Copies of this chain bind each other. A is one copy, B any other.
Amino acid sequence: MEVREYTPASDEYAYTFGGVAPVFSVRPGSALRLWSDDAFGGKLRSIDDLSAEKVDLRFVNPQTGPFYVEGAEPGDTLVLHLVDLEPARDWGASATIPFFGGMTSTDRTVSLQASLPDTTWIYHLERERNTVAFEARFGEQRFELPVAPMLGTVGVAPPGGEVRSSLVPERFGGNMDTPQMRAGATVYLGVNVEGALFSLGDGHYRQGEGEACGTAVEGAMTSTVLVDLIKGGAPLWPRIEDDDHWMVVGSSRPMEDSWRIANAQVVGWLSELYGLHPMDAYQLITQIAEVPVANVVDNNYSVVVKVAKALLPTAQAFGGIHAELRALARTL
């Protein structure tokens, strides 16, 4: 099976979902290998590169894409299977951008306090040990941490003619920043416009849940992706399936609303999969849901509600396409 490769030039980066012409068309069933720059556009390369000087928050999370999916119409379900995520550089960067992040006042949770120090951390990748190294900036500590590549941002064009920054997580996906978005995961996104116009980027070599300071180990990434399409069946919010879990990502504010959104979608999904009455599905997830927070730093906070497949009888979502794509991925 052919894998189409694409590396955007820096003037081809997209900074919004919607509002950008597609770079090319892809047929459902095809494979892509996409290079994406890091969230900072590669501008933080040493600890002396400060975000206040190098980063313009209107132009972060550069997207690779968008791609026009042939035949995709509003109401359809875009299916993206992440076959492989490979760090494309030997280092990643993280930074405490002034008034951005979870443990500081922000432009929304405003205070009159001074900002935290604008600081950059560089993580060196040790490929043989598959680690990135945390090196303290205010001390001498050095801890190697396992590489765990993920994509912060996967999304489609929004409905209603809206155009949203690539910093936003919403119904259309976007900057959800969940570690669940890793190799082996299949993402289901409702299509809002002809061609779906999906894009991806914001690779993380690893990220904790919540993404506390606002930036993970941000790194350029080479993502191998299978693209497919299901006619109809558009989920209201992004769903993720891997071999072990069904998941929904809700993104809103306050964080309890993100949770309510994802929870209701999981209730609906389990109702479909098992013929459960919503009240029974509600009862069931009360006892079995796992709820890892994704991000508490973006303009919407994202919460994942997930259900372990092992707890329930076998069932197939979206016609069993996840298993098909897993099998197909092995042939690449």
A interface list, Cβ under 8 A from B: 15-16, 18-19, 58, 94, 96, 102-105, 107-117, 119, 121, 134, 136-139, 141, 143, 145-146, 159-165, 206-217, 252-257, 259-261, 263-264, 267, 274-280, 282-293, 296, 301, 303, 305, 311-313
Task: State whether B102 touches A283 (Cβ < 8 A).
Answer: no
Known contacts: A96-B282, A113-B115, A287-B217. The answer to whether A257 contacts B108 by CB under 8 A is yes
Task: Tell me the bound Cα distance from A214 to B287 in angstroms.
Answer: 10
How many copies of the polypeptide does the oligomer hold? 4
**Residues of chain B lying within 8 A (CB to CB) of residue A213:** 282-283, 286
Task: Tell me the bound Cα distance from A96 to B284 in angstroms.
Answer: 12
5 A-B pairs besides A134-B287, A138-B279, A162-B164 with CB distance below 8 A are A109-B260, A162-B165, A207-B286, A208-B286, A252-B253
A/B interface sample: 28 pairs, CB < 8 A = A94-B283, A94-B286, A94-B287, A96-B279, A102-B260, A103-B110, A103-B267, A105-B111, A107-B261, A109-B260, A111-B264, A119-B279, A121-B283, A136-B280, A137-B280, A138-B279, A141-B274, A206-B287, A208-B289, A209-B292, A210-B291, A212-B285, A212-B289, A213-B283, A216-B287, A256-B301, A290-B292, A293-B293
Task: State whether A208 touches B288 (Cβ < 8 A).
Answer: yes
In the complex, the chain B residue whose C-beta lies closest to that of A208 is: B289
Give the residue of B96, B134, B209 whose beta carbon is less than 8 angstroms from that of A289. Answer: B209
Task: State whether A259 touches B210 (Cβ < 8 A).
Answer: yes
**Residues of chain B lying within 8 A (CB to CB) of residue A102:** 256, 259-260, 263
Task: State whether A277 touches B139 (Cβ < 8 A).
Answer: yes
In the complex, the chain B residue whose C-beta lies closest to that of A280 is: B136
Shortest Cβ gap from A37 to chain B (Å): 18
Shortest Cβ gap from A325 to chain B (Å): 27
Task: Tell me the bound Cα distance from A305 to B213 in angstroms.
Answer: 14
Task: Tell me the bound Cα distance from A163 to B161 in angstroms.
Answer: 7
Task: State whether B96 touches A280 (Cβ < 8 A).
Answer: no
**Residues of chain B lying within 8 A (CB to CB) of residue A112:** 103-104, 116, 264, 267, 278-279, 282
Known contacts: A103-B267, A138-B280, A260-B110. The answer to whether A163 contacts B162 by CB under 8 A is yes
In the complex, the chain B residue whose C-beta lies closest to that of A312 is: B143
Task: Tell me the bound Cα distance from A279 to B146 in angstroms.
Answer: 21
